[in-house]
Amino acid sequence: MIRTIALLLAATSTAAFAQEAPPLLPPVPPAIVALQHAALADELGYKLAEDITTELGPRLDGTPAEARARDWAVARLRALGFANVHVEPFTIDGWTRGPESADVVAPYPQHLVIAALGNSASTGSRGITGQVVGFGSEQALEAAPDSAVRGKIVFVSHAMTRTQDGSGYGFFGGPRRQGPSVASRKGALAIVIRSIGTDHHRNPHSGVQTFAPGTRPIPAGALTIPDAEQLQRILSHAAQNGGQPVTMHLTLVSQSAQAPSGNVIAEIPGRDPSLPPVLVGGHLDSWDQGTGAIDDAAGVAITTAAASLVRSMGQPLRTIRIVWFGSEELGLFGGLDYQKRHGNQPHYALGESDFGSGRVWKVNSKLGKPREAEGRLLQAALAPLGIVPGSLEDAEGSDVGPMIAAGQPGVGLSQDGTYYFDYHHTPDDTFDKIDKADLQQNVAAWATVLAVLAGPIGSEPKRPAQR
């Protein structure tokens, strides 16, 4: 492979690289270049992420902590000079965890580290005991006869490894998303899975799962990756040593109830309020074990700082709407409520930052054929930040995903997720995991996107606002 490339280089010199460049990208207005430079040195995003994680801490969906976070957000967004700051409330199917533990009772008694998955049924405080039956994948569990599972504690592993784009999360997330429903349908007593993550620390990765309609909720938890590997070894040693059954005592105490939540919305009014707004944001809620730093204090901080920077360069043509979505983690409740209220109104574009604070490396957009030139301008404007042009027919985002899927225009900035799943949904999702320079590159990227989409900036220059 290496020799082929060397020969190719010798034969074609630099022409080989030139041909790989995308179609000629348009020139970038100097005001956008200046904004990008300012954003790379701007402190607001990093400060916001610090303040959210420090002054609010964990903010699980529907809890008093999330309500406190909304009040805090309203005050901070007003203090930052945003207009029309308000909360759109909604009710969710809430869930909270209580005491949780997992112990192998026989044949090799020992403690394992576990966390309940969202919407897990409760074992009650006395816990349950059952025989463990192991599967190497969700597919293997699906294929097993019900008789192999009935009345047992199902254990499902998987082979997720790290990738830059985080694509392993979709495929290898099956044991968490569908595993509990499959196990329940087959009559399992409970399910424990290998955490959906890429680290090797004894930190369990939580995350939501939703029982399929008509499925009886059962206790469902995630073992840390070292503990899942230990359980795999325990099962195989027990099988080798005379086929002894492995039994586990599992305690996952939790509560489910309707709970209040809401989206926090703020705007930079555009010069022409009749034009559809550009929406960017992240989600304010977080899992309960860490302080929700990379998921998703970073996202709200990045997009809010970006919007604030654009405002400091002058009033944009189009309104910029910031949304700090509520209750993303337990089921995209905030995104769905926003869609219910505003999904029929046109938006100029939707974008969300919800993949940590790793550097942006690719831009995708889905603005429609007539706006392809705008997509190319985005590509050109982002290239100096090391961001490669991606698709012009595709964009992604968690809370905004359903609206983009329903036909609203969107922009997606792909972040480097190589290390994201080391910390995602664990007690280790804390502020120290955010790299300041990486976060500032994100702010610069989103400020660029907003400056391109919200219309000419700098045409009404004014002194940068006090931020």
Sites of contact with Zn ion (CB under 5 A): 295-296, 354
Q: Classify 352 as helix, strand or coil.
A: strand
Residue 114 phi, psi (nearest 5):
-140, 155
Among 438, 424, 437, 304, which Cα is nearest to 358's?
438
**CA–CA–CA angle 50, 52, 55 (5° rounding):** 95
DSSP class of 208: B
| Minimum separation from the CB atom of position 378 to Zn ion (A) | 23
What does DSSP say about strands 410-415 and 360-366: parallel, antiparallel, or unpaired? antiparallel
Phi and psi torsions of 307, nearest 5°: -65, -40
Q: How far apart are CA 163 and CA 262, in angstroms?
A: 33
Distance of alpha carbon 393 from alpha carbon 6, whole angstroms: 34
Minimum separation from the CB atom of position 43 to Zn ion (A) = 24
Is 162 or 371 the residue whose CB approaches Zn ion more closely?
162
Minimal distance in Å, beta carbon 62 to Zn ion? 16
CA distances from 396 to 119, 342, 351, 364, 393 (A): 26, 18, 8, 8, 11
Nearest approach in angstroms of CB 290 to Zn ion is: 12
Q: Which is nearer to Zn ion, 172 or 420 (CB)?
A: 420
**278 three-state secondary structure:** strand
Q: Select 127 or 166, whichever has its Cβ closest to Zn ion.
A: 166
Considering only CA atoms, which of 453, 434, 439 is closest in space to residue 381?
453
Q: Which residue, 350 or 392, is less far from Zn ion as judged by CB?
A: 350
Distance of closest approach, residue 299 Cβ to Zn ion, in angstroms: 7
- Tell me the CA distances in angstroms from 432 to 50, 429, 438, one per residue in order: 9, 8, 13
The smaller minimum CB distance to Zn ion, of residues 267 and 354, is found at 354
Cβ closest to Zn ion, residue 172 vs residue 325: 325
Residue pair 259/119 in contact (Cβ under 8 Å)? The answer is no
**Least distance to Zn ion from the beta carbon of 323, Å?**
14
As measured in angstroms, the least distance from the Cβ of 282 to Zn ion is: 8
Cβ proximity to Zn ion: between 120 and 398 the closer is: 398
Nearest to Zn ion of 288, 296 (CB atom): 296
Q: Are 322 and 461 in contact (CB under 8 A)?
A: no
Residue 154 CB, nearest approach to Zn ion (Å): 27
